[in-house]
């Protein structure tokens, strides 16, 4: 038997912490020290040991546990929402919806998972033989998750893989330790066996060693291009499967409309979801010239009318803080650089005084390909609007981006909208809808938005051994 190397140890002298800071006030709420190397090794060993038993249980039993996880998400939606709101500034109603969506995701895979993992008979070249395509779990998986959807991002990775029989080590964002702890408690209470889902407050060095360890069979990351590139490089060096969901700068094309104001209001509401901090948000609005000025005027009116508010209150006419002061400062700098380069700022873009992470919602036009903002992802409450004179110009603008996550096309003529949507270079194209959200809808992108898919039938087809079983009769 080949010896399995353990994680190298290091002296436990410096223990940086995962820190929960309320972005509305800038105050420290909680901190959790990072794991020691001994703790990281223990978590990996436990996940590896749990895999042997978990994969041997009938898929229906694993699905029943997933169903209970979904039930607890629904039961604890208010509790989970309060944590996310204080930890990353998400409006309370949106945080509650996120927890409820997690309930739907686990329920989906509990119901459909056994059929999606079932053996699939194949035609054979021999009259007497029988062939079956089997879907078998592969082992311990490492999940590296972000702060913008502290529950949903985990659920869409964990649910299908737990039903398959894989086990999970989960490294959450350094700013979300309380969300991570609440998730661990929920899965424990639902009956997920010890070690089968394990939160690890790991350092970056520990993550690199975990990916390299032969007991880890794959890694899934949702985050920045920089993080995705680093993780993919390590995974590739060690021949590990990776799924990456990275940035996005989704086009939102409005070809025509019967009600310009209503269309602009819908576009703005979409852009402000999660205070603009969503990978597949409509970061680039492309509007036909005949309605462009009125569309921009309504966006500006919507943005200018908002004032800072308490995200736990969610009062009408207010906007929430971004997830951190640093994120707000970065976005403010991007806006300022665009304006200095010649873009027009119609409203917003200013940081509130004090330690809070409030950035006034902004509307930008006149962004050109010579500006950095044209190519960057503006991750926050900024509506960037481009003018197009033809369907071909709109399509060229839509595809002129290094990203390829999602895209949407709107028109009173569905056939016209579909014809353009068919040519979008993205992983998720929508006609007369901002997005198709649902547990059964695959999520993922192309180009620099990453690769692989989560949710839906494809969500169970990433970290799986698609094994051929042939029987010669």
For 142-159, the pLDDT digits (tens) are: 999 999 999 999 999 999
122 belongs to a structural domain: yes
Per-residue pLDDT, averaged over 52-74, amounts to 98
Same domain, 173 and 274: no
Q: What does the DSSP assignment read for 204-247?
A: HHHHHHHHHSTTEEEEEEES-HHHHHHHHHHHHHTT-EEEEE--
| Known catalytic membership, residue 104 | no
81 belongs to a structural domain: yes
Q: What pLDDT was estimated at residue 3?
A: 37
Same domain, 201 and 280: no
339 belongs to a structural domain: yes
| Known catalytic membership, residue 426 | no
421 belongs to a structural domain: yes
CATH number at residue 151: 3.40.605.10
- Strands (DSSP E) found in 68-200: 120-122, 129-137, 140-144, 167-171, 197-199
The C-alpha atoms of residue 299 and residue 361 are separated, in whole angstroms, by 10
Tens digits of per-residue pLDDT, 187-236?
Answer: 999 999 999 999 999 999 999 999 999 999 999 999 999 999 999 999 99
Tens digits of per-residue pLDDT, 391-447?
Answer: 999 999 999 999 999 999 999 999 999 999 999 999 999 999 999 999 999 999 999
The boundaries of the domain holding residue 360 are 251-431
The C-alpha atoms of residue 167 and residue 283 are separated, in whole angstroms, by 35
Largest CA-CA distance found in the chain, in angstroms, rounded: 77
Number of domains in the chain: 2
Q: How many other β-carbons are positioned within 10 Å of the β-carbon of residue 56?
A: 9
Query: pTM of the predicted model, to two decimals?
Result: 0.95
Tens digits of per-residue pLDDT, 94-142?
Answer: 999 999 999 999 999 999 999 999 999 999 877 778 999 999 999 999 9
Same domain, 260 and 186: no
Exactly one of 41, 98, 245, 387 is catalytic; which is it? 245
Same domain, 43 and 179: yes
Same domain, 221 and 277: no
160 belongs to a structural domain: yes
Same domain, 313 and 384: yes
Same domain, 291 and 426: yes
Same domain, 415 and 459: no
Same domain, 378 and 392: yes
307 belongs to a structural domain: yes
Exactly one of 102, 176, 279, 426 is catalytic; which is it? 279
Per the prediction, the chain carries an average pLDDT of 95
CATH number at residue 301: 3.40.309.10
Same domain, 39 and 151: yes
216 belongs to a structural domain: yes
34 belongs to a structural domain: yes
Same domain, 187 and 297: no
Tens digits of per-residue pLDDT, 351-405?
Answer: 999 999 999 999 999 999 999 999 999 999 999 999 999 999 999 999 999 999 9
The C-alpha atoms of residue 36 and residue 200 are separated, in whole angstroms, by 10
Residue in the structure block whose two tokens are 């779990």? 137
Same domain, 197 and 343: no
């Amino acid at each position: 038997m080949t010896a399995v190397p353990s994680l190298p140890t290091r002296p436990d002298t410096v223990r940086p912490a995962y820190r929960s800071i309320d972005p509305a006030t800038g105050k420290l709420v909680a901190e959790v020290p990072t794991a020691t190397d001994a703790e990281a090794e223990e978590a990996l060993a436990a996940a590896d040991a749990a895999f042997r038993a978990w994969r041997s249980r009938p898929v229906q039993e694993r699905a029943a546990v997933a169903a209970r996880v979904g039930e607890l998400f629904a039961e604890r939606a208010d509790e989970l929402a309060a944590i996310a709101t204080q930890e990353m500034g998400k409006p309370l109603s949106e945080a509650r919806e996120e927890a409820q969506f997690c309930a739907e995701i686990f329920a989906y895979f509990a119901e459909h998972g056994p059929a999606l993992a079932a053996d699939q008979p194949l035609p054979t070249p021999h009259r007497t033989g029988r062939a079956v395509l089997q879907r078998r779990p592969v082992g311990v998986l490492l999940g590296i998750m972000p702060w913008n959807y502290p529950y949903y991002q985990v659920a869409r990775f964990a649910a299908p893989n737990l039903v398959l029989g894989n086990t999970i080590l989960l490294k959450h964002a350094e700013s979300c330790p309380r969300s991570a702890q609440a998730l661990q408690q929920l899965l424990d209470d639902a009956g997920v066996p010890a070690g089968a889902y394990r939160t690890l407050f790991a350092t970056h060095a520990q993550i690199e060693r975990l990916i390299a360890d032969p007991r880890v069979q794959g890694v899934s990351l949702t985050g920045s291009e920089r993080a995705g590139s680093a993780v993919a490089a390590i995974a590739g060096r060690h021949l590990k499967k990776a799924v990456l969901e990275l940035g996005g700068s989704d086009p939102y094309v409005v070809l025509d409309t019967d009600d310009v104001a209503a269309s602009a209001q819908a576009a703005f509401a979409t852009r402000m979801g999660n205070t603009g901090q969503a990978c597949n948000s409509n970061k680039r609005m492309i509007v036909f010239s005949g309605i462009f000025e009125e569309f921009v005027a309504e966006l500006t009116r919507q943005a200018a009318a908002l004032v800072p508010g308490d995200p736990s209150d969610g009062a009408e006419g207010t906007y929430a803080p971004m997830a951190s002061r640093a994120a707000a400062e970065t976005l403010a700098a991007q806006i300022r650089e665009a304006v200095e380069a010649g873009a027009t700022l119609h409203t917003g873009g200013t940081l509130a005084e004090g330690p809070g992470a409030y950035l006034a919602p902004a509307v930008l036009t006149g962004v050109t390909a010579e500006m950095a903002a044209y190519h960057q992802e503006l991750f926050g409450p900024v509506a960037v609007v481009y003018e197009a004179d033809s369907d071909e110009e709109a399509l060229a603008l839509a595809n002129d981006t290094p990203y390829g996550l999602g895209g949407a096309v709107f028109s009173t003529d569905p056939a016209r909208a579909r014809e353009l949507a068919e040519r979008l270079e993205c992983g998720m194209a929508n006609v007369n809808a901002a997005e198709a959200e649902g547990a059964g809808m695959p999520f993922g992108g192309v180009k620099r938005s990453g690769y692989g898919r989560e949710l839906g039938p494809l969500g169970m087809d990433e970290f799986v051994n698609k094994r051929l079983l042939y029987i010669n009769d």
